[in-house]
Structure formats: structure tokens, C-alpha cells
Amino acid sequence: MKNRKTVLLILGSTLLLVLLLLKGLLSGSVDIPLRQAAAVLAGRGRGSVAAEIILGIRLPRMVMALVAGMMLASGGVISQAVFRNPLADPYIIGISSGAVAGASLAFILGLSDVWFGLFAFAGSLGAAALIFRISGNRADTSALLIIGVALSAFLGALSSFVMYLAGQDSYRVMIWTMGYLGAASWFRVALMVIPLIPALAYFAWRRHEVDALLLGDEEAHALGVAVGKTKRRLLFVVSLTAAFSVAFTGMIGFVGLIVPHGVRLCTGNSHGRLLPLASYTGGVFLLLADTLARSLMAPMEIPIGVITALFGAPFFMFLALRAGKENHAGS
């Protein structure tokens, strides 16, 4: 039954991806005929207005949405396994807030795009280390949420102070913190792909250890997993993916929460199938969200973080209520 669901998920996601790519390439402030777009993609018509729009604006943005979605979804899958908590998403527990603080500092210092990613990584890594230390490996939902809310509030205050220091540029920072893909470029896409590929490879390599973590620390240790070291290394890589996503697309929440849970219904808990499918579906989901952000109130663009929050906030409340009932029943 799960195999059938998995096939349907792949086919449905692929069909949606094709439709979104067609809409994204052809529609916008300037509509481009399908034949002309095909000619541009085939290498003809270089230097034309259509080529500038497709190759310089629309295609980089769509690829960035796919890459960012893959980063966020894979990070959510691994976070939930490390903390054995259905609500453990880098956005919710504060890792993404650390990345925002780091990237905001790079902005104030006037550094280049590469430094944005590195500063964001330092911030997210610091946040992840603090969360891991304070939580004490506990899977308790309430404790993890309290830690995440407190840390996000503190780091959010720092980011707000940075916006204040930015002066006239504060509007740019504010739009970015709400999630924004309008500044996409092939260079920024490349900077995001560089950490994404080794991160996904590492997650795939450690998939059996990640499966073991779901059984609990004692059971995983009995299976030969160095629990503490494995969790720290996994969180290190999660921080890397969250940082480079935040650095170039801003705070886009709930992708790492919604997508893993939806895919898990089709694949089960085995990370050999869950990780690649969640990553792929996460990319398609974020591309859908970006398409809605550009289309719903066109020509005005809605911040993509608002769109994902409209999907994710009700889902988050449902999971939180269910986890609370399970904890109450077990006590």
C-alpha cells in the first residue's frame, strides 16, 4: 500500500512541478508565448527581451525556490529524528532565527553574498548548539517549544535592532525576513547548491543511524550508534542547510514541518525513502508557495513566508494539540 502511495506522490509532485514551471516561465508582468520560451531554453533568441526575462529573472527564481524547499524539508526531517519530536523544525525551534541574526550582521557590515551564508551558518550553528545543550536530548514537546520560543524572541530582538541600525535600508531587511525570492540570481543559486548536495549525501549516508535514533537513545546505542556524536553532526549539517536557505531567501517557515509529515504518510518512517521524497516534495511545495505569492494579488507580491505560514500555522496547532493529548495520556 505504501509503495502505491509513494508512486502517486512522485507522479503528483512531478505533474505539479511541470505545471508550475510552465506558469512561472510563461506568465508574469510580461506574458511570453510557449513557442518563444521553448526557443530561448533551446539556446535560440539569446539577447532578446524574452531571454533576459526567462534566463535572468524567472528561471533563477524558480530554481532557487526548489533548492530552498529541499533544504528546509530535509532539515525538518532530520530535526524531527534527532529530537524525536514531531514539532522539531529549524524554523520553530530557533535555528533559523540564529541564521537571520547572523545574516543581518553581514548585511550591516556590507559584506558580499558569500559572507551572508557563512555568517548565517555561524548564527544557526550557535542556536542549534544552545538548543541541544538546554534540551538535554529531551523529546518533550513543551520543553522544546519553550526553548524555541525564547530563543527566537531573543534573536528576533537582535535582528530588529539590526533593522533599526540599517536606517533607510531597513525596508529591504524587513522584506527579506518575511521571505523573499525576488533577488534570485544564478550566483546565489550556486551558493545554495554547494552546501545542499553534500548535506543530502551525508543525510543519505547516515540514514540507518537516523532510523535508529527514532527508537530512542538506549536502543540506538545498543545498535552501535554513537548517539551524542551522531546527533551533533546531524544538527551541524541541518544548521548548514538552514543557514544558506535563510541567507538568500529569508525566514520561510513551516516547510520543514508540513512536508515531512505529509510524505511520511506515504513512505513510512524509513529515511531511505522519506529523505529524498521529502526533499523533492519540499522543493515543489515552496515553488507552489512562491507561485501563489506572485499570483494571488498581482501585480503586488505577497511575502512567501506569509503563504507558508497560512498553510503551516493551522497544521502546527493541530500537531501541538495532538502531541499534548498524547503526553497527557501517557502521564
Q: What is the pLDDT of residues 96-121, one digit of tens each?
A: 888 888 888 888 888 888 888 889 99
Cell of 93: 525551534
Predicted pLDDT at 71: 96
Predicted pLDDT at 132: 76
The yes-or-no verdict on residue 285 having pLDDT over 90 is yes
- Mean pLDDT confidence for 153-163: 78
Whole-angstrom distance between the N-terminal and C-terminal Cα of the chain?
34
CB atoms within 10 A of CB 23: 15
More confident residue, 5 or 166: 5
According to DSSP, residue 169 is labeled G
Percentage above 90 pLDDT, the chain = 35
Do 242 and 71 form a contact (C-beta atoms < 8 A)? yes
The yes-or-no verdict on residue 143 having pLDDT over 60 is yes
Helices (H), the chain: 2-26, 34-41, 49-53, 59-83, 90-93, 95-108, 113-135, 141-166, 170-177, 186-205, 207-213, 217-222, 227-249, 255-267, 271-295, 304-330
Q: pLDDT category, 157, cuts 50, 70, 90?
A: confident
The yes-or-no verdict on residue 136 having pLDDT over 70 is no
Predicted pLDDT at 15: 97
Average pLDDT along the chain: 85
Q: pLDDT category, 135, cuts 50, 70, 90?
A: low
Do 294 and 28 form a contact (C-beta atoms < 8 A)? yes
Domains and their CATH numbers in the chain: 2-330 (1.10.3470.10)
The yes-or-no verdict on residue 49 having pLDDT over 60 is yes
The yes-or-no verdict on residue 327 having pLDDT over 70 is no
Place of cell 501541538: 320
Predicted pLDDT at 84: 84
Gap between the Cα atoms of 281 and 267, Å rounded: 12
What CA dihedral angle connects 132, 272, 61 and 177, to 10 degrees? Answer: -20
- Mean pLDDT confidence for 302-321: 81
User: 321-329: long-range contacts (C-beta < 8 A, 24 or more apart)?
Assistant: 323/85, 323/86, 323/87, 323/141, 324/141, 324/142, 327/140, 327/141, 327/142
The yes-or-no verdict on residue 76 having pLDDT over 90 is yes
Task: Supply the pTM of this predicted model.
Answer: 0.89
DSSP string, 269-306: S-HHHHHHHHHHHHHHHHHHHHHHHHHTTTTS---HHH
Do 246 and 79 form a contact (C-beta atoms < 8 A)? no
The yes-or-no verdict on residue 66 having pLDDT over 80 is yes
One-letter amino acid for residue 159 of the chain: S
Q: Which residues of 87-108 are buried (b: 16+ CB within 10 A; e: fewer)?
A: bbbbbbbbbbbbbbbbbbbbbe
Q: pLDDT category, 211, cuts 50, 70, 90?
A: very high
Provide Rg for the chain, Cα atoms.
20
Predicted pLDDT at 185: 92
Percentage above 70 pLDDT, the chain = 91
Do 120 and 244 form a contact (C-beta atoms < 8 A)? yes
